[in-house]
Amino acid sequence: MLKQDILIVDDTPDNLRVLSSLLASQGYLVRKALNGPLALQACQKQLPDLILLDIMMPEMDGYEVCNHLKSDPTTQNIPVIFISALDNPFDKVKAFNIGGADYITKPVQAEEAIARVSHQLTIAEQQRQLAEQNAQLQQLNQKLKRSNADLEQFAYHVAHDLRSPIQSIILFAELAEDRFEDCLGTKGRDYMEGIINSGLRMKDTIDNLLTYSRVELSKNNFQLTDCEQVLSEALANLAEEIRSSGAVITHSNLPTPIADRTQLVRLFQNLIGNGIKFRDTDIVPQIKIGAELMGDREWMFSIQDNGIGIARESFERIFEIFERLDTSKKYPGSGIGMAICKKIVERHGGKIWLESELGRGTTFYFTLPAQGSVNP
């Protein structure tokens, strides 16, 4: 292991000799400089791990030397311990204000000097290790971002390429069921229905996977977006589900934030559709939609339903991709819908969360930045 390098700066040779001998006996590599300019030159040749710096020196005092060190990016992180006969609190405060790490008053007590030097070297080493770890984490984070982007690109292309053959399978199965109905028999028709239903579920999963991938891959298309019109479009897309369930949907006045209109429609559609879908069959869905301006920084939207509710321990899991809380297959789905919602909200700089009680319903909340918004 390399010895730690300490530079002692003092215009008194006896002080240099005493301190040098003391620190060398502790296993440190010690260098000496009789004045400020020589100290700066020594730092340029080789960076020390720590500097012991006298204040009262001719030509350039310790304060000026420290200012030079702290203004230079190559030396600014070297810990400086001032050593001086000046015992005035003003001098000590000045030393700390210009970047000193510690202050030792002359005459130097050997045990105190050793302890303070060891302490500052330990701190410096810990800071160096943290800096290295932070740099490594940043590199890993960049690699992870690239990997995630590559994975989303891969998922998008795979889903896109699978879409056409799945549609062909569904179409041919429907044609076969229609044209050869008399030949199929009961079991044959059951088999064909199984093929068609499985194909439709796979198509739904592929469509959702494409939507999930497009959230990040799509170009920014943020503009003033009337949420009243967004809601109308989302409800039109859900017209069959609303009709068959008898769902009653009410809403307060909705704002006009800056957003990606297409993604906002998907967000409303998924959250409202979730409220319609996850209910007991004898319950008529009641869904309330609102928005509230929080200060002047963001809108908080709420979509409340009277469905089956969600257990508290599942609140975080629901936003994970392919996470399906229902294992009974009573409520079919791909497990991507809520992950899409989270990705859309985060892309807009907001956050999404929920409150829920089993058997009593769920309220999803999400925020959108209010900057540039127009209150209706």
Tell me the pLDDT tens digit for each residue of 12-50: 999 999 999 999 999 999 999 999 999 999 999 999 999
pLDDT reading at 372 higher than 60 = no
Q: Where is pLDDT greater, at 26 or 161?
A: 26
pLDDT in tens, 273-320: 989 988 888 889 999 999 999 887 889 999 999 988 888 888 888 888
Of 201, 157, 150, the C-alpha closest to 333 is 201
Q: Quick check: pTM over 0.75?
A: no
Of 178, 214, 213, 174, the C-alpha closest to 197 is 174
Q: What is the CATH number of domain 133-217?
A: 1.10.287
Q: Where residue 222 falls among pLDDT bands split at 50, 70, 90?
A: confident
Mean pLDDT, all residues of the chain:
86
Q: How far apart are CA 198 and CA 213, in angstroms?
A: 23
Which residues touch 258 (CB under 8 Å, ≥6 apart)? 222, 223, 224, 225, 369, 371, 372, 373
pLDDT at residue 338 in the model: 87
**Percentage of the chain lying above the pLDDT 90 cut:** 52
pLDDT in tens, 258-280: 898 989 999 999 999 989 988 88
Beta strand ranges found along 88-187 (DSSP E): 102-105
Q: Domain 5-108 is in which class?
A: alpha beta
Residue 48 near residue 1, CB atoms below 8 Å: no
Per domain, the residue ranges of the chain are 5-108, 133-217, 221-375
Tell me what the mean pLDDT of segment 202-221 comes to: 70
Tell me what the mean pLDDT of segment 346-370 comes to: 91
pLDDT in tens, 111-128: 999 999 999 999 999 988
Dihedrals φ, ψ of 356, to 5°?
-155, 155
Please tell me the total number of residues recorded for the chain in this structure.
376
Tell me what the mean pLDDT of segment 191-210 comes to: 78
Does domain 221-375 fall under CATH 3.30.565.10? My reply is: yes
pLDDT reading at 376 higher than 50 = no
User: Of all helices (H) and strands (E), which one includes residue 349?
Assistant: none
Dihedrals φ, ψ of 296, to 5°?
-125, 20
Of 278, 267, 334, the C-alpha closest to 310 is 278
User: Of all helices (H) and strands (E), which one includes residue 99?
Assistant: none
